[in-house]
Amino acid sequence: MGALFIDISRGENVTFAPNYRDLRGATMSRQISRTILLAALVICLVGMAGLTHGHAQFSQPGVQVSNKTLLERLGYPADAKLLIVHADDLGMARSVNAATIKAFESGLVSSGSIMVPCPWLPEIAAYARQHPEADLGLHLTLTSEWTPYRWGPVLSKDRVASLLDSSGYLYLTESEAASRASAQEVEAEIRAQIERARSFGIQPTHLDSHMGTLYKNKTLFEIFLRVARDYKLPVRLSRELVSSTDYLPSILSPSDVAIDRIISIEPNVTAEDWARFYVNSIKGLQPGVTEIVIHLAYDDEEMRAATADHPNWGAAWRQRDLQFFTSGVFRQLLQENNIKLITWREIGKMQYPR
């Protein structure tokens, strides 16, 4: 019973979308969704039983053992609705950079993370240097998923042979990366990505993992967490994710922070239902700290070509995200629902006060 942290006391009913579902491709199946949903339900029920026997969520090792909620620790009242709107994949393509910078300028997208091995890194690094206030983290990258357009590791290929497929690029899928990469080489590569970002003048505010590779198993997540702690950076982590992943509670410490929930749209949402999904998610937003993970780009020639055989998280998908998250509709929804945009910088300052 030791490690169940679903906050069922709030009776939340948000869309189930943990961040390790930030996947692209065939590996993302509805079957998995159903299995996870079922598992979450079972855990939830067991968790309820646990709560009746001694407030399990505060009495066990793991995240947020403080009696204070994350909201309170951030200095907000218990009914505050805080939202990080987070754009992934910066540096991946010009189209991604251009769309995300436009979204930052709208003031409606509060955060983003950068893929250091990708060829458009220098452009977004220049933006980071010119905008030191921007909330930019690193989207630690162990995959290269677009078949016509690919990249390799930051470290010398000889040193990270287990991270490369037969063509010498990073793996196409997170499953291959997670099953074939040596732990030692993963750690060396992600540390090198952070050091390289810093050498480009990027001061990352947080860390997450492209396609969720670093959440795929305990070994990888332990590396991820160790590196994040060393650099005193918060990682993308939600209480839902903690509660639904068997290995997570045992390796988290009281000083680790999980936000309340992460929302990300999935391939089962049709183009027609795109805005409705987001509108409903925002209207139904519960108090606490929520991150909406989005993927921005234009539906242009570069992006269409890169994602030609890969409509999920593809060009049209990304332009739909861009359209919604820079719209007047979204701006009005934030106001009407008393939702305040925050950044990972605030969470980092709380987690690692200086």
Residues that bind a second copy in the complex, under the rule CB under 8 A:
93-95, 97-98, 119-123, 126, 147-152, 154-159, 167-168, 196, 199-200, 298, 300-302, 305-306
CB 234 to a second copy: min, Å: 27
- DSSP notation for 146-173: -TTS----SS-GGGGGGGB-TTSSBBSS
- What whole-number distance in Å separates Cα of residue 90 and Cα of residue 162? 25
Picking from 135, 137, 216, 134, the residue whose alpha carbon sits closest to that of residue 183 is 216
CB 224 to a second copy: min, Å: 23
- What whole-number distance in Å separates Cα of residue 256 and Cα of residue 261? 15
CB 303 to a second copy: min, Å: 9
Which is nearer to a second copy, 73 or 196 (by Cβ)? Answer: 196
CB 164 to a second copy: min, Å: 10
Query: The tokens 């805080």 sit on which residue?
Result: 82
Which is nearer to a second copy, 108 or 305 (by Cβ)? Answer: 305
Q: Are strands 81-90 and 207-209 parallel, antiparallel or unpaired?
A: unpaired
CB 213 to a second copy: min, Å: 20
CB 142 within 8 A of CB 174: yes
Running DSSP on this structure, what letter comes out for residue 259? B
Which is nearer to a second copy, 156 or 337 (by Cβ)? Answer: 156
Classify burial at 53, counting beta carbons within 10 Å of its beta carbon; exposed 0-12, middle 13-18, buried 19 or more: exposed
CB 171 to a second copy: min, Å: 14
Structure tokens of 135?
A: 């909330």
CB 168 to a second copy: min, Å: 7
Which is nearer to a second copy, 71 or 155 (by Cβ)? Answer: 155
Structure tokens of 75?
A: 């200095």
CB 97 to a second copy: min, Å: 8
- What whole-number distance in Å separates Cα of residue 148 and Cα of residue 118? 14
Residues 6+ apart with CB under 8 A from 153: 117, 160, 163, 164, 170, 189, 192
- What amino acid is encoded at 289 in this protein? V
Chain centroid to CA 314: 17
Which is nearer to a second copy, 65 or 305 (by Cβ)? Answer: 305
Which is nearer to a second copy, 146 or 330 (by Cβ)? Answer: 146
Which is nearer to a second copy, 91 or 234 (by Cβ)? Answer: 91
Which is nearer to a second copy, 127 or 344 (by Cβ)? Answer: 127
Exposure on the CB side of residue 109, measured as CA atoms within 13 A:
26
CB 256 within 8 A of CB 226: no
